[in-house]
Structure 1
Amino acid sequence: MPKYLILLLLFPLFSFSQTLLGTVKDSLGKPLQNANVIAKPLVEKQGLKFAIADYLGRYKLELEKEVPYEVRVSYLGYKEEVVNLPASFSQKEHHFKLKETGQELKEIIITHEYTPVIVKKDTLIYDVKAFTTGNERKLRDQLEKLPGVEVDKNGGVTVQGKKVTKFYVENKPFFGGGTKLGVENIPADAVDKVEVIDNFNEVGFLKQVSDSDDLAMNIKLKEYKKKFVFGDVEAGAEVADDNGFYLGHAALFYYAPKTNVSFIGDINNIGKRTFSFQDMMRFQGGASSFISGRKQLTDLYAFAMDNTDVLENKSRFSAINFRQEINTKLDIDGYGIFSSLFSRTASESSIEYLQNSAVTFEERNSSGKNSSVLGIGNIKLNYTPNTREKWYYNGQFQSSTNDINSVLNSARDGQLSSFETLNAADNVQIKQFVEWHKQVNKKHTTTLVVNQSYDNQKPINTWLTDTEFLTGLIPLENDTFYNIQQVKKVKNNSVDALFKHYWILNNFNHLYTNVGNNLGSTQLQITEKQFLTDGSINDFASNGFGNDLDYLLNDLFLGFEYKFKLGKWINKPALYGHYFHLKTKQIASDYTINATFLQPSWLSEYEFNQSENLKFNYKLVNEFPEATRLLERYTLQSYNSVFRGNALLRNERFQNATLNYTKTSMYRGLMLFANASYTKKIKTIRNEIGLDGINQFTTPTITDNPETSYRVSGNIDKKIHRFRINFNANLSWFNYLQTINNQAVSNDRNNQSLGIKLRTATKKWPSASVSYNKSFSQFSGLTKSSLTSDRLGFDLDIDFLKHFNFKTDYQVTFNENSNNVATDYRIANAYLSFQKKNNPFRFELSAQNYLNNGSEINNSFSDFMISSSTTYILPRVVLLSVSYKL
């Protein structure tokens, strides 16, 4: 264990600092919330200390012992007050009383080098240099040192516990507004300030009437970087073993007042992804944020998140982002993305199939190769003819191909079967939307949105085997070798429109009117054929297979929302009337449903103060099934599964209620979040399952059987001296009725997880953390099963010998299933880097999975099976990389 960590754990906590408490009030004794309290050390090599007064005017400063300070308090419209503390001060409290300047200013700009944080009602502005050393490499390194800011391993950013959902550089979206590409690639020496804006709305005049939960982060560049080319390039190669691992990366930026261009390129075979799942969802979007609920039609998950759970992984990625200001009224933003992935996988599984009176065991051994290519082009026009009007046009083209070749060996009752599966899919998608926003006057504002999407998919699935399979479920003809091919042709088209009128009756009452129409259509064709060795073809269509479906669902709605405020209590009841028209045309039948529903909702929020609130949300929803669930004929899904839809399905109906509590206090160093949710389905679509050994036949049915789910989660983060301790908990309960082999079974699926994390919270010590998480899962249905998991983690980030940095993380997981079979696996990584200050070259020696763990083990269960799987992962990767900063 490093000596720094030993000292950190053994020394008394109170010996390193002393605390100054107090309040900031005006001359009448009124608290001055968000006043800045800055402690400037009067000796060299000591950092600034600061605090922000809470809603009671309280502040708390943790100061170094034996260091003299100048403590300065400032608040807009009031005269500054300064107090000097000697090195050996014994003062524990000081209360500031600020006097008004007596000047009434329309606009004021205050420049003061010792104001590290500016706090407004919904905006935080961090002066980055006040919290950093200058040795940081990327924006991520800087953000991790800002108070209240955290960056997770996937590039997600939270500020005071709330997740950043919009990311900007110089007030413009950076690569669609995701955080990962920004925090991982923007060079630290280009950043001047970080702005955090809560309840963000891209259309300024809608902020008063919209209920945005978005949290935006805007990166302000240094003046000499606003018209400059900057960035870095990196190259790395394996220096241990002989696996041929490599890494190449480039992040280049050109910023000018009217033109911005950013390029990111990456090539590696160590399982590293350049953009996160959240970024992928954003890139996949291309739809207006005013229209929600439309399901994504393509799956880009394979292109996001790091993936080391493979035997081999090759990734190529390039992206370009640009912005051009045509004139003062028109901007053009756009990005292009290309990603290519190749992976090779291997896994082993032991599965128990639970049936009414028997249990079947299967051993699987599978391997596969996956090749995927993705291209996205997006352009957005931002037109502002005047301060009260805004136009947007966004167009996106997306194309992807996925080719999978997998081999599965299945052993059951002493019989071994081998299946080779080929999957090839070409997907093309075009999305576009137009938004128009107009503030007619101070009381009336309107929004019009039209959203269109077209999707064309053609997956081809082929099963190859020398063993007859799914006997009695598919019409195979006897042959020495079986070749089954399935071809799907899917075209989806949707056009959604919304007109919304905002009427501000007065400061405490608003009335919103919504009129809209959502139209979606699907053309779906599926064929399954057996190609025999004699050259003939066995078409499954004559035996109930093959589907040809035209599907149309139209939702016409009218809604009223009434928003009113009583003191600190804000309410928004709403009532929507929906007229649904569902029409399907298939080979054997046509089906039409016309239905009218009233769907109420209620949003209620009580703000105790600026940093504490309670929010409640209730809604009643009717949801119609998607096209694939209505297929009237059989469809082959896998080597042991057949599906048939139900053309007579109607809508599901469910109620949902959520309760959220948030409290943050910089004075107490506390962040508290608690959430509770309840969902009850009144009308339910659930699959009925028929099992015969490992073979499964599934069909959906609509029932009045209720399904209920509860979830409670919470997170408490507290600073104690120079540490932060975090507790988190997630509890869920789900009860539903499942029919298996014509027997209805009441199922309970429950999960609980508890975690604790202790980490250092001072720049003077190395960054270190220790964590422990415990999770439980229980299932009760045809049988009872339970799983437990224990995860211990440790990470360390330490600077030493002036120019060196060392990082390491270690995680060990212990799993145990209901048969008391215990397994464990360990993953550890380490990074040693060297860079002289102001030197463009940086050297890093990294060791990924340096324990050379070859596999990862997981347990799981479903409605009718319990499984334990072993996934083989990348071996130890030791790279030496060199980067150069432009």
Structure 2
Amino acid sequence: MDNKKFFGGGTKLGVDNIPANVIDNIEVIENYSEIAFMKNLVDSGETAMNINLKEDKKNFVFGDVEAGKGNRNFYRTHANLFYYGKKTTFNLIGNLNNTSDQVLTYKQYFDFQGNVSQIFNKGKTVINNSLNDFMQFIEKEDVIKSNRKFGALNINQEINNKMNISSYGIFSKTKDNALNETINQYNNFTENSNYESINHNDFYVGNIQLSYFPNLKNKVYLKTQIKSTSNNYSEDNKSITPTTNSSFFNQKTANATYFFQTLEWYKKSSNKNTYTFMSNLLLDNSAINKQWLTPDNTLVGFIPISEQENYNLKQFKRTKNLNFENNFNYYKVINKNNHLKTILGNTYIRNKFISQDVQVLDNNLINNINGFNNNLIFKLNDFFIGQYYKFRTGKFTFNQGAMWHFYNWEVDQESILSKHKNIILPEVSILLEFNKSKKIKLNYNLKSSFSDAVNYTNKNMLTSYNSAYFGNQNLENELYHTLSINYSRFSLFKGLRFYLMGNYIKQVKGFINKIQYQNINQNVSILMLDNPQNRWWFKGNIRKKIGNFKYGFELHYNTSSYKQNVNDNLQNNKNNMFTYKTSISTLYDEFPSVDLEFKQVFGEYLLNDISSKFRADQFIANLDYSFFKGLNVKIDFSLNYYSNKSFNQKNTYNITNSTLFYRKENSPWSFKLESNNIFDIKFKNQYSFSNYVISDSKTYIFPRVFLFSIGYNL
């Protein structure tokens, strides 16, 4: 906003909360770079939106407050407060609701991940984190009962013409109830699983950035981010298979903290020489306690536990992760058509993982389960150096190079296992730019990644009420080829936007699951295999404006094939999905705005010899109409059809929402009547697929809401 970052670049927070009447215009900046002198050296691929305020809203406090009450004691309160001065900006956002409004979404979570500039992405060590992902604590979309509180504060302060401090804080407190009925198709049996869950979660994010610009050719950033969460989760689960009928009560408490600090330095010493340096430290700790309670003896014989009248299993997991990274880049401009880039860096990673699984006996004594309980430290050091050469000839731009990585890693549990490896990862990029609005880009990379500590364990641990996991300390790095091609064309004069994207991934070496079934129970371990997976997808989109109408067509196809080991048999699995969507929108200034859209999705999953097909149709109609003086009506309608012949599932439902809004011209007061899920639809169907299970879920959704709100613009 006004050339200052809003909540670290949180686009959705800006779009949803900035009052429309304070906006002068919106700029869209392609290939955005925060460092002006880096723009011609690095293709960021980022697009930024800059919201410029009206002059009379600057050096002035503005905002709005809104409070609403509805049926069944539903409520929502919302407040925004903004101040934009020459040296100081201040933004405050608050929201309280029990109507399941999503305030902290997955998209916003990723917006708050932007700590390190993409300039330092090359050479970065990739660790696939399987345990402590804050994503699991974000608000869910489909719940049947909800209570949510959200607060956010953003401050920017210019100290002087060379120094600036920006910071933001995010707070989210939720309590959600969810209800699901799921059919799970495994390799050799089908399970009907029903569960009702309650989730309490507190989530905090704090970020502060110090920016120092001694001159136009020298910039320094010091960034610090802290995240914390506290989570309590409980679930009643019923599982029915052809041979078992079981019930489980599951509980989980999780506490996690995350500290990240980075120093970035950019210096342009001359027109031909530019240097960048980054150093960052990450500390990530979590503690997770789980409990499974059941009166059924389905676990006896699956894991070494004692027969009891009731079964009470507890698990304690602790992780401590440290990541220290340094990255130095040197850019040499030979001339305007020839550039060199040299990269030198090192990453040190230390993961500590502890798990303990015990059985609490009926007499409250503790049975330490034999063959379980892990205590290991995984260390990885990655020294890397790379060289890239970028040149332009005619309409073509070529950028090619390679990174050399020298890996040293160590797994320390009952004994120490040390390994090292050298690897060269080539990269090629070709850009054909016909003009500024029409281009083709081809990219090829050979990529490498490691797993985190949990996959190196040499003892079992429980992962769910019917699954135990065993790692593999002999794992090495995964290796995979990626190839992508992108074509884009844009014409403002013709009202045309058109793009095609294709992507292919082939794993040369990768991890697969090894699964042993015992009734509904699964022993899962991990193996390293040559050529375990191929995946490719294609996406196309065209939008064309003709008169007062805008037409759109989009299609998306993806397919993958992968291997897994089931009961010591190597199997090939496949999944295919095809989606197409058509749309038409009106663009009249003084008539209703109407959006119509139709989408079909066809999916097929092959799990060994089991085939499952589904189809989902969706028709969407949206109306937005302003009439008389100050009245506005919005209606959102979606008609959905779902069919899964394999599971004999069919469902047709519609979800309709509407809003009637009134504000008299030049009045600060506004009134709103809104209704969500007008026809009180109870559930919707969803389809999912993992490495060894096909799932068809009936997800219950939030009930009908009528809400009357009064707002006031400051």
TM over 0.5: yes
Aligned equivalent of 2:323: 494
1:801 matched to 2:628? The reply is yes
Q: Is the 8 A contact 1:473 1:642 kept in 2?
A: no
Aligned equivalent of 1:404: 233
Q: CA deviation at 1:304?
A: 4.9
Give 1:681's match in structure 2, choosing from 507, 511, 514: 507
Q: Any idea what the Cα deviations from partners look like across 1:185-238, whole Å, max 9, x if unmatched?
A: 112222223222211110111112111111111122222222000000000000
Per the normalisation by structure 1, the TM-score is 0.78
Q: CA deviation at 1:706?
A: 4.3
Where does 1:127-276 land on structure 2 (aligned, <5 Å)? 169-238=1-70, 240=71, 243-276=72-105
Aligned equivalent of 2:397: 570
Structure 2: gaps of 5 or more residues: none
In structure 2, C-alpha distance between the alignment counterparts of 1:447 and 1:367, rounded to whole Å? 52
Where does 1:573-592 land on structure 2 (aligned, <5 Å)? 573-587=400-414, 589-592=415-418
2:702 is paired with a residue of what secondary structure?
coil
Aligned equivalent of 1:353: 186
Aligned residue type for 1:857: N
In structure 2, C-alpha distance between the alignment counterparts of 1:804 and 1:644, rounded to whole Å? 62
Aligned residue type for 1:500: N
1:790 matched to 2:597? The reply is no
Q: Is the 8 A contact 1:180 1:276 kept in 2?
A: no
Give 1:378's match in structure 2, choosing from 196, 199, 207: 207
Q: CA deviation at 1:703?
A: 1.2
Aligned equivalent of 1:17: none
Aligned equivalent of 2:495: 669
1:184 is paired with a residue of what secondary structure?
helix
Per the alignment, do residues 303 and 233 of structure 1 end up closer, same or farther by CA in structure 2, a change over 3 Å counting? farther
Q: Is the 8 A contact 1:394 1:434 kept in 2?
A: yes
2:160 is paired with a residue of what secondary structure?
coil
Give 2:332's match in structure 1, choosing from 496, 499, 503: 503
Q: Is the 8 A contact 1:782 1:864 kept in 2?
A: no
Q: CA deviation at 1:299?
A: 3.3
Aligned residue type for 1:784: S
Per the alignment, do residues 385 and 757 of structure 1 end up closer, same or farther by CA in structure 2, a change over 3 Å counting? same
Q: Any idea what the Cα deviations from partners look like across 1:79-111, whole Å, max 9, x if unmatched?
A: xxxxxxxxxxxxxxxxxxxxxxxxxxxxxxxxx
Q: CA deviation at 1:868?
A: 2.4
1:341 matched to 2:168? The reply is no
1:176 is paired with a residue of what secondary structure?
coil
Per the alignment, do residues 771 and 263 of structure 1 end up closer, same or farther by CA in structure 2, a change over 3 Å counting? same
Per the alignment, do residues 299 and 248 of structure 1 end up closer, same or farther by CA in structure 2, a change over 3 Å counting? farther
1:834 matched to 2:662? The reply is yes
1:885 matched to 2:713? The reply is yes
In structure 2, C-alpha distance between the alignment counterparts of 1:695 and 1:305, rounded to whole Å? 30
In structure 2, C-alpha distance between the alignment counterparts of 1:310 and 1:518, rounded to whole Å? 41
Q: CA deviation at 1:305?
A: 6.3
Per the alignment, do residues 537 and 302 of structure 1 end up closer, same or farther by CA in structure 2, a change over 3 Å counting? closer
Task: Work out which structure has the larger RCO, using CA pairs closer than 8 Å and 6 or more positions apart in sequence.
Answer: 2
In structure 2, C-alpha distance between the alignment counterparts of 1:797 and 1:305, rounded to whole Å? 28
Aligned equivalent of 1:628: 454
1:555 matched to 2:387? The reply is no
In structure 1, C-alpha distance between the alignment counterparts of 2:514 and 2:351, rounded to whole Å? 25
Aligned residue type for 2:69: A
Structure 1: gaps of 5 or more residues: 1-168
Where does 1:26-105 land on structure 2 (aligned, <5 Å)? none
In structure 1, C-alpha distance between the alignment counterparts of 2:104 and 2:238, rounded to whole Å? 34
1:416 matched to 2:248? The reply is no
1:624 is paired with a residue of what secondary structure?
strand
Give 1:301's match in structure 2, choosing from 135, 156, 164: 135
Q: Is the 8 A contact 1:245 1:269 kept in 2?
A: yes
Q: CA deviation at 1:414?
A: 6.6
Q: CA deviation at 1:354?
A: 2.4
Aligned equivalent of 2:147: 314
Where does 1:680-699 land on structure 2 (aligned, <5 Å)? 680-699=506-525
Q: Which moved more, 1:289-298 or 1:775-784?
A: 289-298
Per the alignment, do residues 484 and 787 of structure 1 end up closer, same or farther by CA in structure 2, a change over 3 Å counting? same
Q: Any idea what the Cα deviations from partners look like across 1:413-464, whole Å, max 9, x if unmatched?
A: 3743221111000001110100000000010000000011101100001111
Q: Is the 8 A contact 2:604 2:611 kept in 1?
A: yes
Aligned equivalent of 1:546: 373
Q: CA deviation at 1:288?
A: 4.2
Aligned equivalent of 1:746: 572
1:279 is paired with a residue of what secondary structure?
helix
1:301 is paired with a residue of what secondary structure?
helix
Aligned equivalent of 1:531: 360
Aligned residue type for 2:698: T
Q: Is the 8 A contact 2:2 2:50 kept in 1?
A: yes
In structure 2, C-alpha distance between the alignment counterparts of 1:373 and 1:852, rounded to whole Å? 30
Aligned equivalent of 1:873: 701
In structure 1, C-alpha distance between the alignment counterparts of 2:397 and 2:529, rounded to whole Å? 38
In structure 2, C-alpha distance between the alignment counterparts of 1:455 and 1:521, rounded to whole Å? 10
Q: Is the 8 A contact 1:303 1:339 kept in 2?
A: no
2:16 is paired with a residue of what secondary structure?
helix
Aligned residue type for 2:509: K
Aligned residue type for 2:8: G
In structure 2, C-alpha distance between the alignment counterparts of 1:321 and 1:733, rounded to whole Å? 43
Aligned residue type for 1:621: K
In structure 2, C-alpha distance between the alignment counterparts of 1:306 and 1:366, rounded to whole Å? 15
Q: Any idea what the Cα deviations from partners look like across 1:778-803, whole Å, max 9, x if unmatched?
A: 12223122111111111110112222
Cα RMSD (Å): 1.6
Q: CA deviation at 1:862?
A: 4.0
2:37 is paired with a residue of what secondary structure?
helix
Q: Any idea what the Cα deviations from partners look like across 1:797-855, whole Å, max 9, x if unmatched?
A: 01122221110111122111133532222211000011111110110000010111111
Q: Which moved more, 1:746-755 or 1:851-860?
A: 851-860
Report the identity percentage: 35
Where does 1:426-445 land on structure 2 (aligned, <5 Å)? 426-445=255-274
1:617 matched to 2:443? The reply is yes
Q: Is the 8 A contact 1:288 1:451 kept in 2?
A: no
Q: Is the 8 A contact 1:815 1:859 kept in 2?
A: no
Q: Which moved more, 1:322-331 or 1:413-422?
A: 413-422
Q: Aligned pairs, how many?
A: 707
Q: Any idea what the Cα deviations from partners look like across 1:107-160, whole Å, max 9, x if unmatched?
A: xxxxxxxxxxxxxxxxxxxxxxxxxxxxxxxxxxxxxxxxxxxxxxxxxxxxxx
1:447 matched to 2:276? The reply is yes
Per the alignment, do residues 882 and 303 of structure 1 end up closer, same or farther by CA in structure 2, a change over 3 Å counting? farther
Q: Any idea what the Cα deviations from partners look like across 1:590-636, whole Å, max 9, x if unmatched?
A: 21110001110001111111100000100111222221111111011
In structure 2, C-alpha distance between the alignment counterparts of 1:430 and 1:806, rounded to whole Å? 46
Q: Is the 8 A contact 1:431 1:452 kept in 2?
A: yes
Q: Is the 8 A contact 1:787 1:860 kept in 2?
A: no
2:118 is paired with a residue of what secondary structure?
coil
* Larger strand percent: 2
Aligned equivalent of 1:719: 545
Q: Which moved more, 1:557-566 or 1:406-415?
A: 406-415
Q: Any idea what the Cα deviations from partners look like across 1:392-426, whole Å, max 9, x if unmatched?
A: 00011111111101111122337432211110000
In structure 1, C-alpha distance between the alignment counterparts of 2:565 and 2:645, rounded to whole Å? 23
Larger Rg belongs to: 1
Q: CA deviation at 1:569?
A: 0.7
1:326 matched to 2:155? The reply is no
Per the alignment, do residues 303 and 698 of structure 1 end up closer, same or farther by CA in structure 2, a change over 3 Å counting? closer
1:354 is paired with a residue of what secondary structure?
coil
Q: Any idea what the Cα deviations from partners look like across 1:621-670, whole Å, max 9, x if unmatched?
A: 12222211111110111111111001111121111000000001122221
